[in-house]
Amino acid sequence: MIKRKAILFPYNIDNYPLIRFKELLSQVDIINIDTRNNKFLLGKDFAELYMGESTGGLVQKVETNDYDILIIGDGNPLTNETYIYNKVENDAKSGKDIISLYILQDIQREELKRICKKYSVEIKFLDGQNANVAEIEIDNQKLYQMNVPIILITGITERTKKIDSVLVLKEEFEKKGYKVSVIGSKSYSELFGIHSFPQFMFDNILEEHKILYFNSLCKNIEYYERPDAFIIAIPGSLIPYNDMFTNHFGITAFEVGQAVPPDAVIVNIGYGEYDKNFFENISNMVKYKIGENPTCYVMSNSLVDINSSKEEGKMQYYNVDMYEIDKKIKLMNLTIDKPIFNGLRNSDLKNMSDTLLNLLESN
């Protein structure tokens, strides 16, 4: 299959995996990011944004005839509508198809459709709406038993780079000859040829129905794809951060654990220094909330900026580089009996995959 050439806008901490793992994209080839309004990025390594290992690629100037598709969005709600509408119209006028990654209101979706129809170009929406509860059958209060190993990936806070762990796990499992089904934590996961986390898990329906629907969805995927393992990344946070930032109390993580009890759990944690007591508490919490003790931990480079968070009224973060993560892990590996991996190092994520493979193959 020949991949169509695309550019990405915006490029930020929420959609950088599309660049970091662009060789794993199944439908498009993202050749660069749109720098027409961000000239200061020219010549920089893509990895500078998230402070990871060099991708070997540099941000370059893009001309209109270099690409076929404009990918807009980052998996968040669209707020600056007028600017994005104008940007889409400019590219649609040049014959470019559009892929939107924004979480859209109905009126926003219709306006983007109208613009694209005006110029006879296609638009595709990747916003988690691929799974419709009206099309999912549930059997009263019955849960279907899964017949393949389930690996759940959860995070102690937001922005712990769960999708990175998912993509490397999938790639490494497939290299060993295993077939895997995957539900990613991002609404744009489908660009990687995997399922996006369903939007109905955040809709206003009964919580018990979410468990039943998610269980049935996973059972259908298992039936049609016949995988050897099933990897699921859970969006959001496992626990509240504090009384001000409750992170929806980790309800989604609990519901997924109830829907598909795991055989292994990867816990992604933010950057920091944690003691043995912290890991014991987290282990117990994961055990009783999701159903299995953590198999391993992955440390991201995101750290909550609590002062800015209080000022802004929403969670704010800042990042450290991967070398700082190395230092913390070296200290903490002396105090706990479960491995901790650096989420920004590809070699560490491959070692994480080996840990999971060895566990599943021994059972």
Single-letter amino acid, residue 360: L
Instruction: Identify the band that residue 130 occupies on the pLDDT scale cut at 50, 70 and 90.
Output: low
**Architecture in CATH for domain 135-362:** 3-Layer(aba) Sandwich (3.40)
Residues of the chain with CATH 3.40.50.720: 4-125
C-alpha dist (Å) from residue 340 to 226, 298, 304, 328: 31, 5, 19, 10
Model confidence, pTM? 0.91
Q: What is the DSSP string of 263-320?
A: SEEEEEE-SS---HHHHHHHHHHHHHHTSS--SEEEE-SEEE-HHHHHHHTS--EEE-
Let me know if domain 4-125 sits in CATH 3.40.50.720: yes
Say what the pLDDT of residue 1 is.
67
317 versus 335: the higher-pLDDT residue is 317
Instruction: Identify the band that residue 134 occupies on the pLDDT scale cut at 50, 70 and 90.
Output: low
The number of angstroms, rounded, from the C-alpha of 281 to the middle of its chain's C-alpha atoms is 25
Share the mean pLDDT of the chain.
Answer: 88
Give pLDDT tens digits for 190-204.
999 999 998 889 888
Say what the pLDDT of residue 63 is.
82
Contact 254, 247 (CB under 8 A): no
Residues of the chain with CATH 3.40.50.300: 135-362
Give pLDDT tens digits for 69-116.
999 988 888 888 899 999 999 999 999 999 999 988 899 999 999 999
C-alpha dist (Å) from residue 117 to 9, 82, 85, 93, 108: 21, 18, 13, 11, 14
